[in-house]
Structure 1
Amino acid sequence: MAPSCNHSQNVHQLPQQVVVVVVPFPAQGHLNQLLHFSRLISSYNIPIHYITTTTHSRQVNFRAHGFKSTKNIQFHEFPTPIFTSPTPRNNPNNNSSINKFPSHLQPCSQISTNLRNPVANILHTLSHKSRRIIIIHDSLMGSVVQDYRAIPNAEAYTFHSVSAFTLFLYVWESLGKPFFIDSDMIKDLPSIDGCFSPEFNTFVRSEHEYSKFNSGKIYNTSRVIEGHFLDLLSKEQINKGKKQWALGPFNPITILGSTLQQQQQRHKSLTWLDKQVAKSVIFVSFGTTTSFSHEQINEIAMGLEQSQQKFIWVLRGADKENAFSEDVMERIELPKGFEEKVRDRGIVVTDWAPQLEILAHSSTGGFLSHCGWNSCMESISMGVPLATWPMHSDQPRNAVLITKILKIGLVIKDWAQRDELVLSNKIEKVVTTLMASKEGEEMRKRAQELSFGVKKAVGENGVTKNEFDSFIAHITRGI
């Protein structure tokens, strides 16, 4: 999907009552959530200005799925600074590091310095053409938008890209646990040790300092999913009296039927799914920031083969800073003869796969996932239970939310064993349990009930729809 237009000089010339400026952190999980959110805001006929680098604008548009139109969204693209992107620590050929945090993407944080001036210029230009400017920025981009404070008709809102559960625990712990919470919630809670690199921790803390000046907080979650944790986040000790809105899921919750021409252009995975029995396929995908060792790839392959379950396995290397560079593609080798052995039961995808559409397909009955929040929300909204294999960042605690609190998933790798190889017999056991047992069927039923609740919430007079309307009424107040 091509961006609708580029560059700051193309700012809309007609006067506007309210405009929204969206500034995502330049990594796929963040870019994608805020593009989907932009689409939802634009449905209220509010113009959107989405600001990122040229490379990341291309990336998020190319990978967008579940909707076809970016009408009312104006893209502003700026050059990416030149820097050396380190070799991924989790590259198959670089297994020396225990910490699997994608430090090879650390230069993304350096983009902040380069985007601050262009963002400020756009804000000042828009301030003369609009009665109010609403800035919605990723929690990791506070320093980039800080100049809005000098613009009288501008106000900013922080978007948090993680679950309310994970964010609450992070803030609650960092404040010294200021109030009592149910001990069952934190029993066997995974440590955040190893979740981030020290450099990234420093970056996060510095960016969060800018949020104190903002007018409110936005979460990509639903009260149907995380109402209790949203209530905890709203406590005075945590929230300091700021407004907050739970407006998710941002991704489309219904995938519309395609035209004949679109069907002919569908991804091969969807065509393959059309031929399978309902709820019979497990989707295996680990996001954009992780690569596995050859040894671990072999164990996954053997586990899937031995499970006798049908599967779609997305097997790609981790993104580097430029996801389109020719030199970023890693050579990934499967066990000899693997694809021939499983050709009647599974397919391996080595290019970009339409995850949301795969999860929405009636033949998909499970998801083996790294538990990034994008993936969790998409799986929940489509009613698909998960097998959890967290890698870094918020993923270990998202996995706890999925397995212990929502009870719509099974643990395939516990965070406490994060440095260990996951053997094929463990993979086989969990995949088989999720896809072909009474326990797995009960989880599938709970996931589908949760999906129904989420879909009801975004419908007319639903709790999410009302909250979204409340947010729009707030940012357009008095106009």
Structure 2
Amino acid sequence: MADMVVLYPSPGHLSSMMELGKLILKHHPSVSVTLIMSSPSSDLVSANPSFTFIPLPEVSLPAPITSFLDLAASFFEIPKFNNPNLHQTLLSLSTSSNIKALIIDFFCSPAFEFLSSRLDIPIYYFNSSGACGLSMFLYLPTLDKNINGSLKDLDIVIEVPGVPKVPSKDMPPVLSDRSHRVYQYFLDTGKQMFKSAGVIVNTFGSLEPNACKAIEERKRSPNEPRPPIFCVGPLTVTGESKRESECLTWLDSQPSRSVLYLCFGSMGVLSSRQLKEMAIGLEKSGVRFLWAVRAPKEDGETQARKAGRAAEPCLESIFPEGFLGRTRDRGFIVKSWAPQLAILNHGSVGGFVTHCGWKSILEAVCAGVPMLGWPLYAEQKMNSVFLVEELKVGLAVKRADDDDDFVSAAELEERVTELMNSDKGEAVRERVKALSGAAVVAKSEGGSAHVAMERLVDSFK
């Protein structure tokens, strides 16, 4: 029977896991890679002929989603309800293939406990974020024992080996409320990772040396050995469409490293008030900018609910009167979607205002672009701490004292100027430039990520 590796992604981490699949095929050409997932689109299937896609049935959740924590819980519950279907699919595949490994996204953790007692297949976890986040995650069972009460009700500093200190207010909401079921899902996953065949991490050693070392050195009891850790990143998307874009043509006419790129991800939405304030700050800063603007969220609207509405923004109604005309010669607005990889790798881009999603951070590091961290939701505030304190490839905006979600025009102007035109910004620029080179070395033959990938493939055999 032919050897097979099965990937079980969650929708939000599909692109990173597919890059992992491509690496597996590159290092182990004789193996086949199959993705089991809910409703793979025909475009996805046709664009990736080297993979086999097997759809799982759509499942209905018993409880309505009324908050961000409910949404995060549903990422675990959909795989939970699909466990019997996944089990049957793997049994069917086993009749014609020798399944060497099942790699599950951490949101698919309910599959680990269900399958580990039913199938004799090594199960690996895929951690789409970095080593700092993983270290925090693996330490969660210890934090759960040592801290009384929910983090949302405390004003303390969280200390984890190998990770910068994180104020409790900057911890991910999913880890901050013990009363919500999503907290238990994350806690259980932190425990189950120790029982897995290994944990695959989207990072490289020289990017997060302290966290990587702390994870490797973490001691467990003799009866609970530490699983091997495979730092195989950066897993950034390859083969992005090279379609023509007006913003790239505009960048061609700008001076080298002069443009600030602003983008907050697919779910990054801001209020009308905040967008107006940003426009004022950008105009006063005098910098050139390329800004991906999404339609503003309405008062009281959640990030997730707004992200479901794809209406293009009406720029004239969003920005201060005359803003577009006054900044026409040095600014370019993109409505909603922007070709981020192509933008970050363009020679005219010299800075990136980001929501601190790990994928965006890695893309900027690989492109050698320094960042200004402006986190919005989920684990992004924690990532912002890592960005500044551990990676040292960015600066961070400060929130208004009376509104934790609001950044003033004066603050944005000051931080943008600092990033683009100061000695402090230049130091960050040199650091990220060095790490961009280190990323290339890590993935090259003999580099740390290349060696980790060889170790991973050898463990399948």
Q: TM-score, normalised by structure 1?
A: 0.79
Q: CA deviation at 1:295?
A: 0.8
Change (3 A) 1:220 1:193: closer
Look up the match of 1:95: none
Structure 2 partner of 1:347? 332
| 2:397 is aligned with 1:412 | yes
Distance (whole Å) between structure 2 residues aligned to residue 301 and residue 279 of structure 1: 21
Q: C-alpha displacement at 1:25, in angstroms?
A: 2.1
Distance in 2 (CA, whole Å) between partners of 1:167 and 1:113 is: 22
Q: Which residue, 219, 223, 226 being the options, matches 2:201?
A: 219
Q: Distance in 2 between matches of 1:59 and 1:315?
A: 29
SS at match of 1:371: coil
1:49 alignment partner, SS class? strand
- Residue 129 of structure 2 aligns to a residue whose secondary structure is coil
Q: In the superposition, relative to structure 1, how do residues 321 and 153 fare at CA in structure 2: closer, same or farther (>3 Å)? A: farther
Superposed CA RMSD: 3.4
Whole-angstrom CA distance in 2 between matches of 1:80 and 1:182? 38
Out of 52, 63, 75, the position equivalent to 1:74 is 52
CA drift of 1:455 comes to 0.6
Aligned match for 2:19, one of 23, 36, 39: 36
- Equivalent position of 1:361 in the other structure: 346
- Deviation at residue 329 of structure 1 after TM alignment: 3.5
From 291, 309, 318, the equivalent of 1:334 is 318
Correspondences of 1:13-162 after superposition (within 5 Å): 15-17=1-3, 19-27=4-12, 30-44=13-27, 45=29, 46-54=31-39, 57-58=40-41, 61=44, 70-81=48-59, 101=68, 104=71, 106-150=73-117, 153-162=120-129
How far 1:190 sits from its partner (Å)?
Answer: 5.2
| Cα distance change, pair 305–459 in 1 and its aligned pair in 2 (3 A) | same
Deviation at 1:270, TM superposition (A): 2.2
CA, structure 1 residues 60+122, in 2 after alignment: closer, same or farther (shift >3 Å)?
same
Aligned AA for 1:308?
Answer: G
Q: Once the 2 structures are TM-superposed, how far is the Cα of residue 391 of structure 1 from its aligned partner?
A: 2.2
Pair 1:350–1:426, CA change in 2 (3 A): same
Q: Which runs of 5+ in 1 are unaligned?
A: 1-14, 63-67, 90-100, 257-261
Identity of paired residues, percent? Answer: 26
* SS at structure 2 position matched to 1:413: coil
**Cα contact 2:136–2:163 (8 A) shared by 1:** no
SS at match of 1:225: coil
**Alpha-carbon spacing, 1:232–1:60, altered in 2? closer, same or farther (3 Å):** farther
Q: Deviations over 1:432-456 (max 9, x none)?
A: 2111223212211111111101111
Tell whether the 8 Å contact from 1:148 to 1:155 is kept in structure 2 after alignment: no
Deviation (angstroms), 1:23: 1.4
How far the C-alpha of 1:132 sits from its partner, in A, is 3.0
Tell whether the 8 Å contact from 1:102 to 1:289 is kept in structure 2 after alignment. no
Mapped pair 1:289 → 2:273: no
**Equivalent residue, structure 2, for 1:10:** none
One of 267, 276, 279 as aligned partner of 1:301: 279
The 8 Å contact of residues 285 and 314 in structure 1, kept in 2 or not, is answered as yes
Gaps of 5+ in 2: 147-158, 296-301
Q: CA deviation at 1:468?
A: 1.0
2:289 equivalent in structure 1? 311
Contact 2:260/2:350 (<8 A) preserved: yes
Q: How does 1:421-432 map to 2 (within 5 A)?
A: 421-432=406-417
Name 2:234's counterpart in structure 1.
Answer: 249
> Contact 1:285–1:370 (CA<8 Å) still a contact in 2?
yes
SS in 1 for 2:207: helix
Tell me: CA distance 1:439–1:472, structure 2 relative to 1, closer, same or farther (3 Å): same
Q: Distance in 2 between matches of 1:366 and 1:170?
A: 30
Tell me how far apart the structure 2 counterparts of residues 190 and 174 of structure 1 sit (CA, whole Å). 16
Query: What letter is aligned with 1:120?
Result: H
**1:85–1:292 Cα change, 3 Å:** farther
Please tell me whether the aligned partners of residues 24 and 51 of structure 1 are also in contact (alpha carbons under 8 angstroms).
Answer: yes
| Structure 2: distance between partners of 1:461 and 1:337 | 55
Higher alpha-carbon deviation: 298-307 or 345-354: 345-354
> Residue 367 and residue 60 in structure 1: after superposition, are their counterparts in 2 closer, same or farther (change >3 A)?
farther
C-alpha distance after superposition, 1:212-268 (max 9, x if no partner): 442111100000111221121123436832111100001158x79xxxxx76x3233
8 Å CA contact 1:24, 1:52 repeated in 2: yes
Structure 1: how far apart are the matches of 2:305 and 2:185?
17
Per the alignment, do residues 61 and 200 of structure 1 end up closer, same or farther by CA in structure 2, a change over 3 Å counting? farther
- Post-superposition shift, 1:188? 6.2
Q: 1:312 to 1:106 in 2, by over 3 A?
A: farther
Q: Report deviation, 1:374.
A: 0.9
Q: Deviations over 1:360-413 (max 9, x none)?
A: 222211111111111111111111111011223322222122212232211113
Q: Contact 2:312–2:335 at 8 Å: present in 1 too?
A: no
- Could you list the per-position Cα deviations for residues 121-163 of structure 1 after superposition, in whole angstroms to 9, with x for gaps in the alignment? 2211221222233111111211135443256551110112222
Matched AA of 1:235: E
Task: Output the CA distance in 2 between the equivalents of 1:273 and 1:175.
Answer: 49
